Amino acid sequence: MEWRSAGGIRWLEAELPGARAAFSTRLGGASSSPFESLNLGILTEDDRDAVVENRHRLAASLGLAPERIAIGRQVHGAELKTHEARQEPSPFSEPGGDIPEVDGHVTSEPSLPLLVFVADCLPVAMAGPGGIAMLHCGWRGLAAGIVKRGAEAVAATSAAIGPGIGPCCYEVGEDVRTAFADLGDVFPAEGMLDLAGVARLLLEDAGVTEIEAAELCTSCNTELFFSHRRDAARTGRQAGLVWRNGEA
Ligand SMILES: [Zn+2]
């Protein structure tokens, strides 16, 4: 994974077979505190026009057409939406209309970038012979099987795990510990969960052999990332995106 920047926007970029993934930071946007500055989430108390401006800035920096970027209303589930055409009207570039309630997106079509919003949850991008997938992975979605579903949908061979809350900062309760008790060593310390470690083990279980991870904690890295937990829910959203090479 490599740091990239353009037009004041800074992101992490990963190469997948036939595709690229990007994980945005909070840098280079138009929003003011506590959404400073590249807040991409409309379901915050941020100014709508600033969010739309931020979305367009990010798309421009990545060389993507904003009206072709597919999104959903995320509900911490394991449902996937398969996209065969662009969403119209575009909920990314002109928010306000109906959007599907899903936490994962899949496509095998050209020119359809997929995006999830995050602020501690993990953005997980995948690619394989069946296409590309972008997943919003909190503990509930991971426990509900979203990784396996996404991997099966695209016959994933490779994945990139973006920044999320790290094992240093993610204290969880008994319900969460129980959900992953059979998975292996994902509890680095008493009461703490390694969410990216969970995602990695689930990816391996699903047959994904090439996995890279940002290994950056959203809560620790205040200058770079929004963190729902650190900022007591009043914060912005960064994003994870995946798209096929040579298409915009
Ligand atoms: Zn941390």
Q: Is the dihedral of CA 134, 119, 121, 166 positive or negative?
A: positive
**Cα dihedral 2, 246, 240, 86 in deg (nearest 10):** 170
Which run of H or E residues covers position 22?
strand 19-24
Query: In the predicted model, what is the mean pLDDT of the chain?
Result: 96
CA of residue 119 to ligand 1 center, whole Å: 13
pLDDT band at 15 (very low <50, low <70, confident <90, very high): very high
CA of residue 127 to ligand 1 center, whole Å: 28
Show the CA angle centred on residue 209, arms to residues 208 and 211, nearest 5°.
Answer: 85
CA of residue 154 to ligand 1 center, whole Å: 32
What pLDDT was estimated at residue 41?
Answer: 97
CA of residue 120 to ligand 1 center, whole Å: 10
What pLDDT was estimated at residue 226?
Answer: 98
Q: What is the pTM of this model?
A: 0.97
CA of residue 134 to ligand 1 center, whole Å: 23
CA of residue 224 to ligand 1 center, whole Å: 12
Q: CB count, 10 Å around CB of 206?
A: 17
Tokens 């950056």 identify what position? 216
CA of residue 121 to ligand 1 center, whole Å: 13
CA of residue 222 to ligand 1 center, whole Å: 10
CA of residue 205 to ligand 1 center, whole Å: 26
State yes or no: pLDDT of 247 exceeds 60: no
CA of residue 225 to ligand 1 center, whole Å: 11
Q: Would you state the structure tokens that stand for residue 180, as one six-digit string?
A: 């992953």
CA of residue 170 to ligand 1 center, whole Å: 7
Measured distance CA(128)–CA(43) in Å, rounded: 32
**DSSP code for 89:** S
What pLDDT was estimated at residue 98?
Answer: 87
CA of residue 66 to ligand 1 center, whole Å: 32
Give which of 199, 121, 203 is closest to 156, Cα–Cα. 203
Distance separating the N- and C-terminal Cα atoms of the chain: 21
pLDDT per residue as tens digits for the range 50-75: 999 999 999 999 999 999 999 999 99
pLDDT per residue as tens digits for the range 137-147: 999 999 999 99
For residue 48, give the 3-state DSSP assignment: helix
CA of residue 106 to ligand 1 center, whole Å: 30
Measured distance CA(156)–CA(198) in Å, rounded: 17
Q: Would you state the structure tokens that stand for residue 188, as one six-digit string?
A: 């680095």
State yes or no: pLDDT of 248 exceeds 80: no
pLDDT per residue as tens digits for the range 102-120: 999 999 998 999 999 999 9
Q: Would you state the structure tokens that stand for residue 77, as one six-digit string?
A: 């589930």
State yes or no: pLDDT of 38 exceeds 70: yes
CA of residue 238 to ligand 1 center, whole Å: 17
Measured distance CA(91)–CA(5) in Å, rounded: 25
What pLDDT was estimated at residue 184?
Answer: 87
Q: Which domains does the chain have, with CATH numbers?
A: 2-244 (3.60.140.10)
Asked whether 165 and 217 are in contact (CB, 8 A), the reply is yes
Which run of H or E residues covers position 243?
strand 238-244
CA of residue 218 to ligand 1 center, whole Å: 7
E-only strand ranges, 120-172: 122-128, 131-137, 158-161
Measured distance CA(87)–CA(73) in Å, rounded: 13
CA of residue 221 to ligand 1 center, whole Å: 7
Asked whether 126 and 135 are in contact (CB, 8 A), the reply is yes
**DSSP code for 248:** -
Measured distance CA(38)–CA(51) in Å, rounded: 8
State yes or no: pLDDT of 148 exceeds 80: yes
CA of residue 95 to ligand 1 center, whole Å: 32
CA of residue 130 to ligand 1 center, whole Å: 35
pLDDT per residue as tens digits for the range 170-224: 999 999 999 999 998 999 999 999 999 999 999 999 999 999 999 999 999 999 9
pLDDT band at 239 (very low <50, low <70, confident <90, very high): very high
Percent over 70 (pLDDT), the chain: 99
